[in-house]
Amino acid sequence: MIVGALDIGSHKVCCVIARITWDKKDAPVVEVLGASKQTSAGVENGRIVDLQPLVKVLRETVLEASKMAGVRLNEVYINVNGEFVTCFNVKGIITLTPTGQAQPIRRPDVERVRESALHSLSLPSGQVILHMLAQQFIVDSMPGVRNPVDMEGTKLEADFHVVTVPQTVLNNVNRCVEMAGLRALRYFLTPLASAYSVTNDFEREQGVLVVDIGAGTTGFVVIKNESLYHSYILPLGGHQFTLDVASVLDTPPHEAERLKRLVGAVYEAPSPPGEPTGEDKPDTEMVAVPSLQPRSSPQLVPRRRIAEILEARAEELLYLIRQHLEHVRMIDLVQRVVLTGGGALLGGLDRVARAVFEMPVRVGYPINIEGLRDVVNSPVYAVACGIVHLVAQDDEWRSRLQRRVGILKRLWQWVRNMVP
């Protein structure tokens, strides 16, 4: 089955087209057939602010990926990101039998406990549920159950993580996608998609914090025992790094962005002891910085000074994440950190994160990918590749696909029988 994924960000739009199959062990196999990346337009901090420029970018991005894949894309799965996203945990409880006698738990019972959790919600007007994911089931006070079906008990409880967004946000994304000639099939939270692209089973089992640093926002999720325990979106991202450089060095934002990419690191290592230093060394190299003032000559600034400005913002961003996790009492679930997204490409960011979180840190690239691996081998493609992985793991989607394939097989058999 061919799947198209769109990652709509404040700085870039990515499209990945992949074929999903299953191997002999019934595990999904994702083969990337085409991918494309374009500079975004009409999006600020994850929110669409101008439809027409974004529609143009979507058309160009999908067209380029479609040409590479050799297929025509009509339907897409899309990410949702922004400070308007709300995330919280909720519990559902049901009694399995009025007599108090234990009985086997069936799938309808699992649906009933989910409905119980839904009834306890009081969503603000205009908010809709994007995800409602089970964290654990509790059978007769026994926690940590992942699948209670066919177990026996008298009472079933369940903890869920719920993600909600304003309906108007989805309406605007859907409108934009339709104007680009596509149909939106489903939406996924950005850092959740990233997590399933750049982490392995062991990390998600042990307890991992995935931090997706975009241009306008930074989203992060905590996953343990393969369950989503927490998610949050901060309205800070790589663009804030650029504004810091612009403010401190009194240079236009577009020049600050150029300087950020030129230095490309939040940390510049000093020259080793005993080695002569000079203007040809990275830590003492001077960079010309255009002034914001008209008719002023560019100032010469040490390359290391720019790296220090970037490092200060990186420390603040990462400390904000740690403080948030401590506040909601989730930090103890985390055993390691994975950084991804375009902002994770700044050199030395993992070093800063190790100092902040005091645990193993790495930069995450898409994994478990077949086909055009080299094309999507960047944290920039983490969200789009993750969306494909989430679709591949969706049991409901797979059931619909198998039914569709079954119908096509029967139709083909009928045609063959009709032809003499």
Closest by alpha carbon to 143, among 83, 61, 208, 225?
Answer: 225
pLDDT, average across residues 213-220: 95
**What rounded mean pLDDT belongs to the chain?**
90
* Terminal-to-terminal C-alpha distance of the chain: 31
Q: Is the pLDDT of residue 110 over 80?
A: yes
Q: How confident is the model at residue 279 (pLDDT cuts 50, 70, 90)?
A: very low
CA distance 61 to 43: 15
Range(s) of the chain covered by CATH 3.30.1490.110: 86-166
pLDDT, average across residues 279-308: 82
Q: How confident is the model at residue 293 (pLDDT cuts 50, 70, 90)?
A: confident
State percent of the chain over pLDDT 70: 90
CATH architecture of the domain with residue range 86-166: 2-Layer Sandwich (3.30)
CATH architecture of the domain with residue range 203-267+285-363: 2-Layer Sandwich (3.30)
**pLDDT computed for residue 254 by the predictor:** 92
Q: Is the pLDDT of residue 229 over 50?
A: yes
Helix (H) / strand (E) element for 166: namely strand 155-166
CA distance 108 to 104: 11
Q: Is the pLDDT of residue 420 over 60?
A: no
**pLDDT computed for residue 26 by the predictor:** 81
pLDDT, average across residues 332-339: 97
**Cα separations in angstroms, 179 against 8, 19, 62, 71, 174:** 15, 25, 13, 20, 9
Q: How confident is the model at residue 310 (pLDDT cuts 50, 70, 90)?
A: very high
pLDDT 10s digits, 349-359: 999 999 999 99
Q: Is the pLDDT of residue 414 over 80?
A: no
**pLDDT computed for residue 99 by the predictor:** 80
Cα torsion 377, 380, 384, 389 to 10°: value is 50
**pLDDT computed for residue 401 by the predictor:** 53
pLDDT, average across residues 139-167: 95
Range(s) of the chain covered by CATH 3.30.420.40: 203-267+285-363
DSSP string, 240-259: HHHHHHHHHHT--HHHHHHH
pLDDT, average across residues 286-306: 88
Q: Look-up: residue for tokens 């450089």?
A: 245
CA distance 145 to 135: 9
**pLDDT computed for residue 415 by the predictor:** 60
Helix (H) / strand (E) element for 49: namely none
pLDDT, average across residues 184-197: 96
pLDDT 10s digits, 118-144: 998 989 899 999 999 999 999 999 999
CA distance 266 to 260: 9
Q: Where are the beta strands (DSSP E) in 273-393?
A: 286-289, 299-302, 336-340, 361-363, 370-371
pTM strictly above 0.75 = yes
**pLDDT computed for residue 398 by the predictor:** 56
State percent of the chain over pLDDT 90: 79
Q: Is the pLDDT of residue 8 over 80?
A: yes
